[in-house]
């Protein structure tokens, strides 16, 4: 697998940072490849814009940050607007269908979307697990990390009493990605 | 054969030391009060550590007291002592500080140590002046005093260090003057045996620098007599008006609170809780 | 209860700051004092839980002046102690860092650097405090400082920092930055028996008031408090026995020279550097910390393009690897210095090279933003052509 540079963006409270940590952990601890995760901080972290990056690669990752991502996950309109121009020519965009209006895509860009937020609210009555649905969808579409590794990483990072719900959301995401 | 009688406190001194304090300095009385208190408690001297800062008060334990002595920067002695006490809670840690250490540069460490109720004994030598550096105004210098940095008279009101300690949560507070050597010794004894933050303020004469300010230059005896005249015991002071107490020094044991959690005990409790998890 | 033994090989995906805390614990740290500050606070958060689990102490002090004072006091009480902060906190600690040096007190100080001066930019990665450990406190002294570039190195170098602190009775700095501190990456934890720990040389028995407890160029034994050793410690100029003498220049001369030589005489043991592709290199790039990762990436690219370029990376910033840089300057024609500031270590490289090679400083295009590969690559091509 060649190096994949992923930028995850959204607003505070959507679990964007946690998603990136889960991805990195799944890759490096369980899939035994390499990952670097970095965050962009602001004093307005809660409610404000969130931008986090994960690089996943089989080889050792030396340069730790991303200039132009291969994959952009945008979970808010502003996140999409601010970041889509950075995407590499053959890049992939993943958005939440109900939160982001994607217009005028450049040629060559692959566009995937799912109603993560809506499904989390309607099917699981828990908005907070929308990010897990996104991760499941991401896994199914990209196969950069294994589902097994993702599940293990989630188990490490979410409170044990919410694990089942989180894994359910993950599976729903996988299913809508199919 | 000549009969020689050794000083009863000599065993506590490191020896081969030239004293640098001026003649008539209150440090001698305070040193003796501390050592006599220790002698009476009959605690092993090796189990006591002293920490002091820069200023004449720093030279009470350093290097003369023949036990573990840490002589540090100006104002920080309480902070160093906090680290030492936390690392070696079995030791009694006594800080010898000045009014500049305690009320000026190190004020923050002082109030926070009191708030934490860490088991330290702070003996604060309050001579009302910066002695070592040449007689500058201190945060304890009375209003309208002429010092080397207040040639027109000081315009700031002084701190009452004991009241500051009480307000910050110290659980044993006493104030004496060097005239009250025996009472001072007794309070130091209680302070050392007290579990928690204890603060002893000693109003002490600096005949060289503060003597000048009050017209008693190089006259320590007059200064001690002045303390005797000004001193009012807390028990008597309770029934006196503010007017009657003007220019008086309230002495005595001002606060003694028991059963307040002490910091090193609290830390032991946290360790027990952490090991259970 | 002792810390759980690492008998199984453990891998984790953690922030540099957490790796640093884990490294400290692996090195036997049992005292942490600190004051909250971005971007170092995660170390304190972690230690506030872990210290009690290893029968140690955590204290959130009233300020950074107290934090350094606490760890020095704790070190004399026999603990292995540490504080972590950022540049503003170091500025407040400087006076007592000098005291730690002069009283020969082992301790570890972590600076997760941020933008400065003053309050600066708390979450921007910057290498603006590189001279501060060496020159920040007044007087003349030597110090040890290490610059990690990844969470793994935050772990490894923190262990090393404790070892050097103990071995040489000196404060040792970790100079990280906010990106390394917050970055998550895999950390492979060594097994307990793979960690080699240096323990301080302690005075065993009281040897009279003139016992030699300071100013030995090969490190004097340290009298730990509470063991009846009657330690006589002062931050003022003193002799080998700890007795103060603040007026005789000869005594000061001996004290300062011996303190300095204690480090300088052991540079070979203390200094570590990392060299890549220097055998046939015409150009070497000097970089450290996070910037090293941008440089190494670029050097790899340049090598693929057939450019004869190599990388020289000091792991130890202080004492400065003067001899190693001098050696390097005799091998290459040009040394390009890359650092995320306006040239703090650059003059030292230039002085060490002493005219042997051309020394060029290449600042990042935007201070606080990691060099892009092209920035460095273009300079390499410009120099080689």
Q: C316 in contact with B at a CB cutoff of 8 Å?
A: no
User: Closest by alpha carbon to B203, among B145, B238, B159, B148?
Assistant: B159
Q: Which residues of C touch B90 (CB under 8 A)?
A: 226
Q: Which of A37, A41, A63 sits opposite C373 (nearest CB)?
A: A63
Mean pLDDT, residues B181-187: 98
Q: How confident is the model at residue B16 (pLDDT cuts 50, 70, 90)?
A: confident
CA–CA distance, B71 with C87 (Å, rounded to integer): 27
Tokens of B211: 């003597």
CA–CA distance, A153 with C186 (Å, rounded to integer): 13
pLDDT of residue A48: 79
CATH of the domain at A151: 3.40.920.10
Mean pLDDT, residues B162-183: 98
Domain of residue A148, residue span: 4-115+141-155
Dihedral sign, CA of C364, C366, C371, C373?
Answer: negative
Q: Which residues of C touch A42 (CB under 8 A)?
A: 123
Among A22, A51, A63, A145, most C C-beta atoms within 10 A, so best to mutate, is: A63
Q: Which of B63, B73, B109 sits opposite C243 (nearest CB)?
A: B63
pLDDT of residue B276: 87
Mean pLDDT of chain B: 96
Three state DSSP letters for C213-237: CCCCCCCCCECCCCCCCCCEEECCC
Question: How much of chain A, in percent, has pLDDT values that exceed 90?
Answer: 87
Among A62, A86, A155, most C C-beta atoms within 10 A, so best to mutate, is: A62
Query: If you measure CA to CA, which chain A residue comes closest to C300?
Result: A62
Query: For A29-80, what is each residue's pLDDT tens digit?
Result: 999 999 999 987 554 445 578 999 999 999 999 999 998 999 999 999 999 9
Lowest mean pLDDT among B5-9, B76-80, B249-253: B5-9
CA–CA distance, A76 with A101 (Å, rounded to integer): 9
Angle at C151 between CA C289 and CA C39, to 5 degrees: 75
Please give, rounded to a whole number of angstroms, the shortest distance from the CA of A68 to a CA of chain C.
Answer: 11
Query: If you measure CA to CA, which chain B residue comes closest to C227?
Result: B46
Q: Do C96 and B73 touch (CB under 8 A)?
A: yes
pLDDT of residue A43: 46
Mean pLDDT of chain C: 97
Q: What is the DSSP string of C316-332?
A: EEES--HHHHHHHHHH-
Per-10-residue mean pLDDT for chain C, 385 residues long?
A: 62 98 98 97 98 98 98 98 98 98 98 96 95 98 98 98 98 98 97 93 97 98 98 98 96 98 98 98 98 98 98 98 98 98 98 98 96 97 94
Please state whether the predicted TM-score (pTM) of the whole model is above 0.90.
Answer: yes
Q: Which of C61, C226, C232 sits opposite B90 (nearest CB)?
A: C226
Number of separate domains in chain A? 1
Tokens of B80: 């160093």
Is A128 inside any structural domain?
no
The backbone torsions φ and ψ at residue B13, rounded to the nearest 5 degrees and listed phi first, read -100, 145
CB C244 within 8 A of CB B69: no
Q: Which of C13, C297, C300 sits opposite A35 (nearest CB)?
A: C13
Per-window interface: C 265-304 vs A, CB < 8 A: 290, 293-294, 296-297, 300
Q: Which residues of B touch C228 (CB under 8 A)?
A: 46
Q: H or E segment at C284?
A: strand C283-286
Q: Which residues contact C163 (CB under 8 A, 6 or more apart)?
A: C27, C196, C197, C198
The answer on pLDDT for B2 being more than 90 is no
pLDDT of residue A47: 56
Dihedral sign, CA of B200, B203, B205, B206?
Answer: positive
Question: Could you tell me the domains of chain C?
Answer: 10-194 (3.40.50.970), 274-384 (3.40.50.920)
ipTM above 0.90, yes or no: yes
Q: Which of C66, C77, C209 sits opposite B16 (nearest CB)?
A: C209
Q: What is the DSSP string of A91-103?
A: -EEEEETTT----
Tokens of B142: 């009375």
pLDDT of residue C4: 52
Dihedral sign, CA of B125, B131, B137, B141?
Answer: positive
pLDDT of residue B169: 98
Q: How many CB atoms lie within 10 A of CB C248?
A: 11
Q: The tokens 């946290």 sit on which residue?
A: B270
The domain locations on chain B are 24-276
pLDDT of residue B17: 79
Q: What is the DSSP string of C113-182?
A: E-S-STT--TTS---TTSSHHHHSSSSS---EEE---SHHHHHHHHHHHHHHHHHHTSEEEEEEEHHHHH
pLDDT of residue A44: 45
Q: Do C13 and A25 touch (CB under 8 A)?
A: yes
pLDDT of residue A41: 56
CA distances from B172 to B113, B189, B256, C269, C308 (A): 12, 11, 4, 51, 73
Please give, rounded to a whole number of angstroms, the shortest distance from the CA of B259 to a CA of chain C.
Answer: 22
Question: How much of chain C, in percent, has pLDDT values that exceed 90?
Answer: 97
Query: For C10-53, what is each residue's pLDDT tens digit?
Result: 999 999 999 999 999 999 999 999 999 999 999 999 999 999 99
| Topology (CATH level 3) of domain B24-276 | Rossmann fold (3.40.50)
Q: C186 in contact with A at a CB cutoff of 8 Å?
A: yes
Mean pLDDT, residues A152-178: 97
Query: If you measure CA to CA, which chain C residue comes closest to B269?
Result: C52
Query: If you measure CA to CA, which chain C residue comes closest to B14?
Result: C209
Q: Which residues of C touch A55 (CB under 8 A)?
A: none
Query: If you measure CA to CA, which chain A residue comes closest to C151?
Result: A36
Q: C358 in contact with A at a CB cutoff of 8 Å?
A: no
Q: Which of A37, A65, A67 sits opposite C184 (nearest CB)?
A: A37
CA–CA distance, B253 with B195 (Å, rounded to integer): 16
Please give, rounded to a whole number of angstroms, the shortest distance from the CA of A62 to a CA of chain C.
Answer: 5
Q: Do C12 and A29 touch (CB under 8 A)?
A: yes
pLDDT of residue C6: 61
């Amino acid at each position: 697998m060649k190096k994949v540079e992923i930028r995850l963006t959204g607003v505070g409270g959507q679990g964007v940072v946690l998603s990136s940590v889960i991805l990195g952990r799944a890759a490096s601890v369980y899939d035994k490849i390499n990952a670097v995760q970095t965050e962009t901080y602001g004093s307005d972290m809660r409610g404000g814009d969130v931008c986090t990056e994960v690089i996943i690669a089989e080889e050792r990752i030396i340069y730790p940050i991303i200039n132009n991502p291969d994959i952009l996950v945008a979970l808010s309109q502003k996140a999409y607007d601010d970041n889509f121009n950075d995407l590499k020519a053959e890049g992939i965009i993943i958005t939440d269908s109900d939160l982001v209006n994607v217009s005028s895509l450049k040629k060559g860009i692959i566009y995937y979307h799912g109603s993560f937020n809506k499904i989390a609210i309607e099917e699981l009555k828990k908005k907070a697990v929308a990010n897990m649905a996104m991760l499941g969808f991401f896994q199914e579409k990209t196969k950069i990390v294994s589902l097994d590794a993702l599940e293990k990483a989630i188990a490490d990072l979410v409170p044990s009493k919410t694990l089942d719900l989180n894994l359910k959301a993950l599976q729903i995401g996988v299913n809508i990605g199919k | 054969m000549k009969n020689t009688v050794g000083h009863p406190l000599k065993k506590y001194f490191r020896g081969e030391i030239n004293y640098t304090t001026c003649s008539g300095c209150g440090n001698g009385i305070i040193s003796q009060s501390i050592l006599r208190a220790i002698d009476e408690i009959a605690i092993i001297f090796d189990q006591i550590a002293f920490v002091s800062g820069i200023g004449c008060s720093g030279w009470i334990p350093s290097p003369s007291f023949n036990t573990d002595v840490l002589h540090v920067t100006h104002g920080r002695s309480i902070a160093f002592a906090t680290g030492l006490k936390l690392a070696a809670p079995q030791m009694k840690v006594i800080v010898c500080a000045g009014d500049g250490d305690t009320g000026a540069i190190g004020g923050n460490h002082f109030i926070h140590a009191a708030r934490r109720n860490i088991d330290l004994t702070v003996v604060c030598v309050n001579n009302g002046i910066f002695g070592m550096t040449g007689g500058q105004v201190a945060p304890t210098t009375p209003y309208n005093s002429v010092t080397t940095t207040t040639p027109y008279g000081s315009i700031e009101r002084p701190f009452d260090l004991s009241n500051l300690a009480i307000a910050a949560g110290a659980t044993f507070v006493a104030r004496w003057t060097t005239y009250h050597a025996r009472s001072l010794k007794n309070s130091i004894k209680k302070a050392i045996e007290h579990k928690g933050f204890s603060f002893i303020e000693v109003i002490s004469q600096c005949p060289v620098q503060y003597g000048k300010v009050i017209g008693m230059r190089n006259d320590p005896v007059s200064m001690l007599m002045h303390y005797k005249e000004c001193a009012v015991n807390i028990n008597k002071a309770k029934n006196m008006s503010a007017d009657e107490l003007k220019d008086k020094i309230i002495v005595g044991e001002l606060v003694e609170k028991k059963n307040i959690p002490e910091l090193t005990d609290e830390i032991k409790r946290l360790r027990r809780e952490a090991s259970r998890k | 209860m002792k810390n759980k033994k690492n008998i199984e090989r453990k891998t984790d995906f953690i922030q540099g700051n957490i790796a640093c805390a884990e490294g400290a614990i692996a090195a036997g740290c049992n005292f942490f004092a600190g004051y909250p500050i971005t971007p170092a606070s995660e170390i304190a958060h972690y230690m506030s839980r872990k210290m009690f689990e290893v029968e140690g102490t955590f204290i959130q002090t009233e300020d950074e002046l107290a934090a350094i004072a606490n760890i020095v006091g704790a070190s004399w009480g026999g603990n292995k102690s540490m504080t972590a902060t950022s540049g503003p906190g170091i500025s407040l600690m400087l006076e007592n860092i000098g005291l730690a040096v002069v009283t020969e007190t082992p301790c570890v100080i972590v600076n997760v650097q941020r933008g400065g001066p003053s309050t600066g930019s708390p979450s921007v990665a910057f290498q603006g405090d590189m001279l501060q450990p060496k020159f920040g406190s007044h007087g003349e002294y030597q110090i040890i400082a290490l610059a990690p570039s990844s969470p793994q190195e935050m772990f490894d170098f923190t262990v090393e920092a404790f070892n050097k602190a103990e071995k040489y009775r000196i404060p040792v700095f970790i100079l990280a930055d906010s990106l390394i501190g917050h970055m998550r990456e895999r950390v492979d934890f060594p097994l307990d028996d793979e960690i080699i720990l240096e323990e301080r040389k302690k005075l065993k028995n009281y040897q009279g008031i003139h016992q030699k407890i300071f100013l030995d160029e090969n490190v004097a034994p340290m009298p730990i408090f509470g063991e009846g050793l009657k330690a006589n410690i002062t931050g003022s100029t003193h002799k080998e026995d700890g007795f103060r003498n603040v007026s005789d220049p000869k005594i000061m001369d001996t004290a300062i020279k011996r303190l300095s030589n204690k480090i300088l005489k052991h540079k070979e043991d203390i200094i570590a550097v990392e060299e890549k592709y220097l055998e046939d290199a015409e150009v070497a790039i000097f970089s450290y910390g996070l910037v090293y990762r941008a440089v190494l990436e670029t050097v790899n690219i340049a090598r693929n393009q057939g450019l004869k370029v190599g990388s020289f990376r000091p792991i130890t910033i202080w004492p400065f690897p003067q001899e190693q840089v001098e050696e390097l300057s005799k091998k290459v024609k040009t040394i390009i210095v890359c650092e995320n500031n306006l040239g703090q270590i650059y003059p030292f490289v230039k002085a060490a090279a002493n005219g042997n090679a051309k020394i060029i400083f290449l600042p990042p295009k935007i201070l606080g933003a990691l060099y892009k590969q092209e920035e460095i690559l273009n300079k390499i091509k410009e120099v080689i052509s």
